[in-house]
Amino acid sequence: MNKPLFPEVRVDGVIIPSAAIAAEAQNHPAPKNKPGLAWKSAARALVLRRLMLEDAARRGVKADPLEVAPGRFETEEEAILRGYLDAVAPVTPPSIDEVRAIWSADPGKFLSHPLWSASHILFAGEGAEARANAAAAKLREDGSGFAALARSASDCPSRERGGDLGQLSPGATVPEFEAVLRALEEGQITQEPIQTRFGWHLIRLDALAPGRPLPFEAVAPRIAEALEKKAWVEAMRQLAEALLADAEVTGVDMTAGGQG
């Protein structure tokens, strides 16, 4: 008989079905070569869910489903868990003074997005890397030929503009491309080709408009949200510790960072 891939998970002697854990694992991303991490995260989540539902029953929490979208209501379990968490782990929104204190401590942390004006030469398809390396060597000798080389060699429609991509903001390009923009100085051309899923690029940063400090009113909602999220995470940590202290769990390590 084949040994199960993962151990049987029990909470106070009650088995959590492996099929339920497998279904929950879809909500817990993990590296493709490490599916066990998603399974363990899912098992931990279902253990805590069961313990919270049991505690809610002891406290007499009743389901009062809310409409979460037109014609769609919470399930009974979702409603019970919401009512339970509201009762045992309430989170008070931060005061305006608490939010302002965070901003006042370092206003320079809260900046508008930078803007980059950039050009590139794209080499795609067969022989792209070799062509990109040859072009990079040519530009290292004379960078003034960037636009002409883009017009003659680039596989991007921007070749019609000498490779000009216009103004770019964070998120406008793939991460590898944006990382280069953040590292370049105005007028600088990448010394070596940069690979993305589109091919090999030579990139020139034409101009940079750095981010500027934002006024308090612009960042206050973001700071308040971060403070509330931090408080919620701490409240959930304390609740989990309290529930697990009186529970017997086997088959999965429930300690922080546990790998079992």
Query: pLDDT for 85-135, tens place per residue?
Result: 999 999 999 999 999 999 999 998 999 999 999 999 999 999 999 999 999
pLDDT band at residue 255 under the 50/70/90 scheme = confident
- List pLDDT tens digits, range 131-176: 999 999 999 999 999 999 999 999 999 999 999 999 999 999 999 9
The torsion region of residue 180 among left (phi > 0), alpha (psi -120 to 50) and beta comes to alpha
Q: What is the pTM of this model?
A: 0.66
Query: Residue 30 has what pLDDT?
Result: 78
- List pLDDT tens digits, range 21-73: 999 999 988 777 777 888 999 999 999 999 999 999 999 999 999 988 899 99
d(CA 12, CA 4): 21
Helix, coil or strand: residue 47 = helix
Domain chopping of the chain, boundaries: 9-93+220-250, 115-209
What is the second-level CATH architecture of the domain 115-209? Roll (3.10)
Q: First and final CA of the chain: distance in angstroms?
A: 23
Residue with tokens 């891939």: 5
pLDDT band at residue 4 under the 50/70/90 scheme = low
Helix, coil or strand: residue 93 = coil
d(CA 21, CA 42): 6
Residue with tokens 């204190």: 101
